[in-house]
Structure 1
Amino acid sequence: MRPSDVDTSQRPFVCIWEVTQACELACEHCRADAQPARHPDELTTTEGKALLDDARAFGDGQLVVLSGGDPLARDDTVDLVEYGVENGLQMTMTPSGTGSLTRERIDDLADAGLRRMALSLDGASAATHDAFRGEAGSFDSTVDAARAARDAGLPLQINTTVCAQTIGDLPAIRDLVADLDAVLWSVFFLVPVGRGRVLDPIDPERAEGVMEWLVEVADDAPFGVKTTEAPHYRRVALQQKRAEGGIASPARDGIGRRTGVTAGDGFAFVSHVGDVYPSGFLPESAGNVREESLVDVYRDSDLFESLRDPDALTGKCGACEFRHVCGGSRSRAYATAGDPLASDPLCAYEPEGYDGPMPDQSPAEVEL
């Protein structure tokens, strides 16, 4: 399945299942506000397999990411991967960089058919990464796991958070991503939810500079580059190409997408207790898989349908000529304005002739 062939009104490009919120780490940016112990109301193995059956109903090759917390805090994770693969799903995972991510467990996941492993590096050294992750030894565990994944033949993705605490390390992290032979660098621009509410976001002008730099990285690096919760990266890339006299259509990102995959539009998230969100960073439930079909919620719920209509956006995003290419982070709009259709405050671009209100970057008081 090619990403460009996905009709996002009918199926998500990616479906994330937060299999647990349990995790040994206490990362400063954690969306889930993860805890050491598993929640007693997590989806069971049987319910999880039913969810994977439902995801299969989206169509051939549906991409499913097992996330957390730390998905390896569950003892059935390898079984869930194997079950999904046997039923035609593309199964990937985002485990935490802890001592539990052993070479043996990575080999078991590879044998089960895991398609890709994504690991987080938020610093280029043990000092910066471990401080951000709240656990001494996390950097070494993550790098060891990355090398074990490479040895097991598992394609590796590196995830990095962009905020005031990490921005200075980005060039060195880029070099480390290349050294680890990763196939993709996913650069996540902080959304103020969970523990991330206490971190310092970067301002829109600095974000614009990071995205311009990422376009240059993508042109030269041996790995792909994509952004998470920063769809205006595509607008930046398009503007740069046009300025250089290049193509007039948006370039593909690191996973082959030409147009945005944003919360609810090409993206669905199932929480550890079965709630269906447009994104893990947009915690407004449109239903629960214990009561409704994931397919029906994604295709037919009012919330998801509204997020797939760029012309429903308000404020600066609604006036922007790039709204069909970008659309802004709906998660950040919700986190800062309490409205998923409001403007994304991280974007520095001002549409020509727009004289309306500018979005506020401060976190809103929303019910979680």
Structure 2
Amino acid sequence: MLIIAWELTAACNLSCQYCRASASHEPDRDELDTDEAKRFVESIAPLKPMLILSGGEPLLRPDLFPIIRRAVSLGIRVSLASNGTLITTELAEKIADSGVSRVSISLDGADAAMHDLGRGQGSFEQATKGIENLRGRVDFQINFTVTRKNQSELIRIFDLAEKLGAAALHI
């Protein structure tokens, strides 16, 4: 299966210490507009990929759901990669209704003490609340990047993923 990971926006509500996407609080001026984004989706549809929409934080993009709906209407399997902090009950319903097949939430530790070190105070609580809001509506997975600081968390993050009902744990 072909997988396309698209950093849909640079905008993000967090300022993670190690962000590989160089995210900022504002979208990048060179991001595709809605029509361009839909044309991009149409151009990849013949490849029958799985499309992972990430960022930054893709949930900050105002036209996210029209882009998702266009991709799904073309038979593309769509996943979201999110920090989870913005996922309210209402947004979880909207995600499920749009046809997203899975949401990945990044956690850097099995508790706030470890996770919040790199992502900001309160981000663990917000992310796990986002996960709770997704539960029963759309599959979710937990992404965990192993670092020197959190390598001792591996067993605990596995246990947390099971407890939360994650469909997968990607390390």
What is aligned with 1:72?
59
| 2:73 is equivalent to residue 86 of structure 1 | yes
Instruction: Determine if contact 1:119/1:159 at 8 Å carries over to the other structure.
Output: yes
Structure with a larger share of its residues in strand: 2
* Secondary structure, counterpart of 2:135 in structure 1: helix
Map 1:322-341; keep pairs closer than 5 Å. Answer: none
TM superposition shift of 1:123: 0.8
- Specify the code of the residue in structure 1 equivalent to 2:125: D
The higher radius of gyration belongs to: 1
* Secondary structure, counterpart of 1:91 in structure 2: strand
TM superposition shift of 1:31: 0.5
Map 1:1-368; keep pairs closer than 5 Å. Answer: 6=1, 13-59=2-48, 62-98=49-85, 100-133=86-119, 135-152=120-137, 154-187=138-171
How many angstroms apart in 2 are the aligned matches of 1:123 and 1:163?
10
How many angstroms apart in 1 are the aligned matches of 2:3 and 2:135?
23
- Specify the code of the residue in structure 1 equivalent to 2:147: C
Instruction: Determine if contact 2:45/2:75 at 8 Å carries over to the other structure.
Output: yes
* Secondary structure, counterpart of 1:94 in structure 2: strand
- Specify the code of the residue in structure 1 equivalent to 2:139: P
Spell out structure 1 runs of 4+ moving beyond 3 A.
Answer: none
| Aligned residues: CA RMSD | 1.1
Work out which structure has the larger RCO, using CA pairs closer than 8 Å and 6 or more positions apart in sequence. 2
How many angstroms apart in 2 are the aligned matches of 1:76 and 1:95?
16
TM superposition shift of 1:21: 0.9
- Specify the code of the residue in structure 2 equivalent to 1:46: D
Structure with a larger share of its residues in helix: 2
Aligned residues: 171
How many angstroms apart in 1 are the aligned matches of 2:63 and 2:40?
14
TM superposition shift of 1:28: 2.1
How many angstroms apart in 2 are the aligned matches of 1:27 and 1:97?
13
Instruction: Determine if contact 2:5/2:51 at 8 Å carries over to the other structure.
Output: yes
Q: Which runs of 5+ in 1 are unaligned?
A: 1-5, 7-12, 188-368
- Specify the code of the residue in structure 1 equivalent to 2:34: T
What TM-score results when the alignment is normalised by the length of structure 2?
Answer: 0.96
Q: What's the CA shift string for 1:11-54, capped at 9, x where partnerless?
A: xx210111101111111221012111111221111111011111
Q: What's the CA shift string for 1:198-254, capped at 9, x where partnerless?
A: xxxxxxxxxxxxxxxxxxxxxxxxxxxxxxxxxxxxxxxxxxxxxxxxxxxxxxxxx
Instruction: Determine if contact 1:81/1:109 at 8 Å carries over to the other structure.
Output: no
TM superposition shift of 1:97: 2.7
Instruction: Determine if contact 2:84/2:131 at 8 Å carries over to the other structure.
Output: no
- Specify the code of the residue in structure 2 equivalent to 1:149: L
What TM-score results when the alignment is normalised by the length of structure 1?
Answer: 0.45
TM superposition shift of 1:170: 1.2
Q: Percent identity?
A: 35
